[in-house]
Amino acid sequence: QNKIFSDNYLEEPYDLSNVFFILTANYLEDIPYALRDRLEIVELSSYTEYEKFEIAKRHLIPKQLKLNGLDNNEFVLEDDALWEIIRKYTREAGVRELERMISSLIRKAIKKMLLEKVKDIKVKKEDVESYLGKPIFLYNQIDLHDQVGVVTGLAYTHYGGDTLSVEATYFKGQGNLQLTGQLGDVMKESAQAALSYVKANAAKFNIDPQIFKDNDIHIHVPEGAVPKDGPSAGVTIATALVSLFSNKKVKHDVGMTGEVTLRGNVLPIGGLKEKSIAAARSGLKTILIPKENQRDITDIPELIQKDLDIVLINSVEDAVSHALE
C-alpha cells in the first residue's frame, strides 16, 4: 500500500507508515464501501438513559455550574427533574443536547436568582416545564386494557430503545395483505412471513382457514411519519394475527421481540439492553425474547432485570401461550 502522502500546496511528501488514523461516524452506511473495507470497525452502542443520568450527575452538571459561576449549594437539580429532562427533552445517542438543556436551565435559574434576589434554587420535576417549555418528546406508554389484535413490540433505534404497537384487523375482501406505518422492505417481508406461518398453522391455533380467503388483512404500526424497518417485529406481528383470527385478547403488559421464520422459529435480535430499558420505562411487566439471546441478559442493568419478567421463547407458539389470555 502507498505510505507517502504528497501535499499539493507545499509539494512536500509525508511518510504516513507510522500514523494511526482514528475515524468516527454516526452511521456506518454512509461510509463508502471501498473505505469501509479498509477499516477495523469498532461499534459502540448509544448511551442508555441510566448512563446519561450518571454522566450528567458526575460531569455535565458540575461542568455547567463551574462555567456559570455557581456552586453545588446555590443550584440543585433533583434526580426526578434530571430524569424528566433526559426522557422528555432529549432524544439522542450521546449527551450533547442534554448538556445544552442543563446549561439553559442553569442560566435561567441564575436570571431568576437575580430578579427575585434569592440565594439558591432547587429545581424539582414539576419546575422543569417552566424553565425549558413544554416537553419535546413523549415516549410510548402501554395500553391499559387487553385488546384483540394489538401487541406491543420492542424496537431499537439510533437513539436507544422504544416500544411500538402492532395493530391487525381484517374485513371483507379477497385475501389481500395491506401494510401501513411507513414500513421498510425488511419489515414488510417479516409481516408476509408471519402471515404465511399463521395460514399454514391455522388448525393449530383453531383458526378457520376460510377466513383468509374471504377477507383482506390490514397490519398497521402507529406513528406513520416515523420510518420503521428490521426483522425483529416478526413474532409480534405473528402474535397479533393469531390473536385477531382466534379472537383472543393479548395481555397489555407483555412485550416481545424476535425474527420469525416460516416454520415459526424465533431467531435472535440485537439491542436487547436498550429494548429492555424501553420496556420497563413504558410499563411492561413481561418481555418475551428469543432463547438464543439468553447470553445477552447479563448486559441488561440489574435494576431493569428486577422490574421485568424476562421469558425465553423458541417459537411463535411459545409467544402465543405467554401473551394471549
The amino acid at 116: E
The single residue of 46, 165, 190, 232 carrying the catalytic annotation is: 232
Give residue for cell 445517542: 93
Kindly tell me the number of DSSP H helices and DSSP E strands found in the chain: 12, 15
Task: Judge whether 232 counts as a catalytic residue.
Answer: yes
70/62 Cα distance (integer angstroms): 9
The backbone region for 278, taken as left when phi is positive above 0, alpha when psi lies in -120 to 50, beta otherwise, is: alpha
117 φ/ψ sector (left φ>0, alpha ψ -120 to 50, else beta): left
Sign of CA dihedral 12, 17, 23, 27: positive
C-alpha distances (whole Å) from 206 to each of 3, 46, 106, 194, 315 are 68, 43, 61, 17, 17
Catalytic member of 52, 228, 273, 275: 275
State the maximum Cα–Cα separation within the chain, in Å, rounded to a whole number: 79
The DSSP bridge partners found for residue 297 are none
Nearest to 233 by CA among 257, 215, 213: 257
**190 is an active site residue:** no
* DSSP label at residue 191: H
45 backbone dihedrals φ, ψ, rounded to 5°: -75, 165
Q: Known catalytic residues?
A: 232, 275
